[in-house]
Homo-oligomer: A and B are copies of this chain.
Amino acid sequence: MKQSKKRRVTLQQVAEHAGVSTSTASLIVRNNPRISEATRQKVLQSMRELGYVYDRVAANLRSQSSTTVGLIITDISNTFFSEFLIGVHDALEEVGYTVLLGTTFDSIDKQDHLISTMLEHRVGGLILCPVSGTAQETALRLEQLDIPVVLAVREIPEIKCDYVGADYREGALSAVNHLIQKGHKRIAFLGGIRESSTWVKRMEGYQTALLEAGIEVDDSLVIDSAPTREGGLEALSKILRLSKRPTAIFCFSDLIAFGVMQGVRQAGLIPGEDVDIVGFDNVPEAEISHPPLTTVSSFPRRSGTEAANLLHHKMSNTNHKQQRIILKPELIIRESS
């Protein structure tokens, strides 16, 4: 962990070289306008000559500030989250923050550990996609942090916190309604983790749609799974073993849907013909899958941007009021249904 043998060039050395005081040099690195242009040029020249690199860490320590933000997500290989990450990252970079990245893989321990690490690194704010079933203890801890926190995607019901997400219930409702309108009566709901708030919301939408159409909810058609492509494949294999198979499948996410489509094909059926499939999220791959996937866009990238902007606002305004930003999902009909 030891850094360079060579010592860093310090601001003091620069000041000496330029023949000014350290305070003057300090004002210059921070672009304070009340320094004469002549001195400024002289000092900037010394910096170049000595190869000076500003030490933001020391500066932040002294001034009790921070130029970093922590971002904790579940899994980068899940395109939903990588899209979310892009949204957050780009928005924060634009306003001059550097992001520290952490991934939980849905482990509560990892999440606790990452929160600590972020705090130890003095992040000025935190964007967290909480692990499903985040403990009361963690929740309390989050509430007591003295840096701004924005929750995203999943919610923690126990605490009040700024939050960015989509109306998952509404999204599920529109997806299932679409299937009902196509004449389906046996519609499965596949994949996802039951403990997750995002699952619960989708389940509500699923049930509501069925009930409103006078269709009874058949528990054997609701199968949860790991939120991965493999999870989708597995959930589907259970469906295939059913004596009364569904004619349409509403999937927890696009990732799950890709697994389901793969399984459907392996069983010799054609997605969109023999069985209708709808995903959730509208990740970029949904458009190029074959057949292109009907899905509900939950705007992952935009969620990231919104979360970043909200956090930034919170970090710069002390009188920030708590906000919940709920994006309205959009049904995108393609050929898989």
Contacts and interface: CB of A to CB of B under 8 A. Distances in A.
- Of the four ranges (under 10, 10 to 19, 20 to 34, 35 or more), the interface on chain A belongs to 35 or more
A89 B65 contact: no
A99 B98 contact: no
* SS class, residues of chain A in contact with chain B: mixed
Interface stretch (A31-39, A119-127, A178-186): A119-127
A103 interface: yes
A61 interface: yes
A146 B5 CA distance: 8
Interface string A66-87: 1110000000110100110110
Interface stretch (A40-48, A49-57, A191-199, A210-218): A49-57
Contact of A120 (B5, B55, B118): B55
B284 A262 contact: no
Nearest to A229: B288
A220 interface: no
Contact of A57 (B61, B82, B290): B61
A30 to B, nearest CB: 11
Q: Tell me which of A1, A83, A103 has the highest count of chain B C-beta atoms within 10 A of its own C-beta.
A: A1
Nearest to A64: B3
Contact of A86 (B60, B61, B77): B77
A157 to B, nearest CB: 24
Contacts of A143: none
B98 A146 contact: no
15 contacts: A1-B67, A1-B124, A3-B64, A3-B122, A3-B147, A4-B64, A4-B146, A4-B147, A68-B100, A68-B121, A100-B100, A229-B288, A261-B288, A285-B285, A290-B290
Interface of A: 1-6, 51, 53-58, 60-61, 64-68, 76-77, 79, 82-83, 85-86, 89-90, 93, 98-103, 116-122, 124, 144, 146-147, 229, 258, 261-262, 284-285, 288-291, 315-316, 318
